[in-house]
Amino acid sequence: MIKKIINEPKQFLNFLVTYFPGSSGNMLRRLLYKVRLSSLGTKLYTEIGFRLTCPRNIVIGNNADFMRDCSLNSCNGKINIGDNIAVNQNVDINSSDGGFIEIGNDVCIGNNVVIRAADHIYKRGKKITEFGHAGGKIIIGDNVWIGANCVITRNIRIGNHSIINAGSIVTRDVDAYSIVGGNPAKQIKMIK
């Protein structure tokens, strides 16, 4: 009971900082994340609803913009984000359960994208809630554009200067200078 009461002020502070609007809210989040993240560069911009779990496992570079309701989850995982990243609304970047995600410099991510570096493990004869996870890696190169509503699964490398069309499900590596799309995503053409 006492532990619950002690944790409530921390939960209230997190809620307040997460949903405090405007430039004051952005400033509060920046101050809090400067202390809580493993490393934070200059010029972080976050809108309301930006959430972190296990921030000590997260690195964010310079000039990072995160729109409403984005989340970075890295319990028992790691996330490294480079410089000049623009992340639209409702994006989930999740390396929890033994995953690793690296996002390069000059990357744009459309709204409703899921980047998940761990998958459920199927175990015959077990309940689905007992499956557990297998961690993997996702490496996204420099100057990459990921369109809206994409899903990127574990053990994927997306090469530099690539474009992932909106609505794509990326289940295998993407070569540099490629445009891919579909479910599963396939190469549409090379960028000259």
The DSSP 8-state label assigned to residue 122 in this structure reads P
Catalytic residue, from 34, 120, 126, 189: name it: 120
pTM: 0.91
The domain segmentation of the chain, as residue ranges, is 2-190
Kindly state the percentage of the chain with pLDDT values over 90: 76
Query: Which residue's structure tokens are 């570096």?
Result: 117
Exposure of 142 in the CB half-sphere (CA atoms within 13 A): 4
Whether 120 is catalytic: yes
Distance CA 113, CA 105 (A): 18
- Contacts (Cβ under 8 Å, ≥6 apart) of 80: 59, 101, 102, 103
Starting at the edge strand found earlier in the chain, the sheet holding 39-40 runs: 39-40, 58-60, 78-81, 100-103, 137-140, 156-158
**Cβ neighbour number for residue 127 with a 10 Å cutoff:** 7
- For the cut 70, the answer to whether the pLDDT of residue 1 exceeds it is no
Of the listed ranges 33-42, 99-108, 117-126, 146-155, the one predicted with least confidence: 117-126
Q: To the nearest whole number, what is the mean pLDDT of the chain?
A: 92
- Contacts (Cβ under 8 Å, ≥6 apart) of 161: 141, 142, 143, 144, 176, 177, 191
| Domain 2-190 class, CATH top level | mainly beta
- Contacts (Cβ under 8 Å, ≥6 apart) of 162: 141, 144, 145, 174, 175, 176, 177, 178, 179, 180, 191
CA distances (Å), origin 54, targets 18, 58, 59, 154, 173:
15, 8, 11, 20, 28
Taking only the tens place, the pLDDT of each residue in 180-191 is 999 999 999 999
Taking only the tens place, the pLDDT of each residue in 116-143 is 999 888 778 888 888 888 899 999 999 9
